Amino acid sequence: MHEWDADTRVDATGDGRFAAHLGDRWTSAGGRPNGGYLVAFCLRALGEVLPHPDPLAVGAHYLRPGVTGPARVDTEVVRAGRRLSTGQASLTCGDREVLRVVASYADLGDPAGRTVALGRAPELPPPDECVDPYGGLRLPGVTVADRVRLRAPEPFGWAAGRPTGTPRAEFWIGFADGRPADTASLATLVDCAAPAVLELGVADSATVELTVHVRARPGSAWLAARVATRHLAGGYYEEDVELWDATGRLVAQSRQLAVSADR
């Protein structure tokens, strides 16, 4: 079993509730569980109670920092329709809700509907011709960097001690143990790279809200990521992420709103 599957396990305890355990292998700065890791528990639980196989539109509101250890997921089937179903999930650590997710699911294996591709995948050399953009740097407490690997043409500016002032990046991303990406794990992957605002010197921030739109089932383990922040205003900033599979197909778009510690 791959790391993500083992570490995001949920066990039904009846009435739409699930027992979970937040591990210490997916932490971000400060040793707190990564936001994309927290979402995974809600999506795995919703995947058990909703009739459609693929998360399509996921909205996650972060209420408090997650805490490693035992946790609970409470789910509600909001609507189960023919083409789409919608559910809600709350992740609770101790007696405190840390994350509330509403997600609509669909069947992305169904080939109906028109396709017009106007965007383009990042143009990157193959992963084995790229380098670790962190340059081997590991920020204290950030274990998620050992679970999810990145490959880029060159190191990130901030990781080389020279923040570029331009919070944009393109790189390959994939699970370190080679687990294939699937629609359930895309919401984890979009939040597992170091934030682009490190190029602006913003080191400490917290996610308020993360939306993930899953656009297709990934056809490769390595995914090409395009990350950008365009607006830091009053300490709040958005981070946009696109993930493309190796066949050049967009598989996920995400946007999060985060707040820096100076707010």
| Options 25-33, 121-129, 144-152, 207-215: segment touching a copy of itself (CB under 8 A) | 207-215
CB 68 within 8 A of CB 33: yes
**CA–CA separation, 109 and 97 (whole Å):** 33
H or E segment to which residue 6 belongs: helix 3-7
Check binding of 157 to a copy of itself (CB under 8 A). Answer: no
- How is the beta sheet containing 250-260 ordered, strand by strand? 10-14, 17-22, 69-80, 85-93, 96-106, 54-62, 205-214, 250-260, 236-244, 223-228, 168-175, 148-151
Closer to a copy of itself by Cβ: residue 9 or 53: 53
For the segment 169-198, give every residue that binds a copy of itself (CB under 8 A): none
Among 215, 218, 222, 227, binds a copy of itself (CB under 8 A): 215
Binding mask 31-50 for a copy of itself (x = CB under 8 A): --------------------
42-to-8, 32, 39, 83, 103 alpha-carbon distances in Å: 9, 17, 5, 21, 9
39-to-61, 92, 228 alpha-carbon distances in Å: 10, 12, 21
Residue with tokens 């919703």: 46
Residues that bind a copy of itself (rule: CB under 8 A) add up to a total of: 55
44-to-1, 3, 18, 188 alpha-carbon distances in Å: 15, 14, 10, 11
Closer to a copy of itself by Cβ: residue 9 or 217: 217
In this structure, the strands spanning 250-260 and 148-151 are unpaired
Among 1, 15, 112, 136, binds a copy of itself (CB under 8 A): 112
Nearest-approach distance from CB 148 to a copy of itself, in angstroms = 24
Check binding of 77 to a copy of itself (CB under 8 A). Answer: no
Closer to a copy of itself by Cβ: residue 145 or 190: 190
Closer to a copy of itself by Cβ: residue 15 or 231: 231
**Binding region for a copy of itself (CB under 8 A):** 56-57, 59, 61, 63-64, 78-79, 83-84, 86, 88, 97, 100, 102, 104, 108, 110-119, 166-167, 200, 202, 208-209, 211, 213, 215-216, 229-236, 238, 249-250, 253, 255, 257, 259-260, 262-263
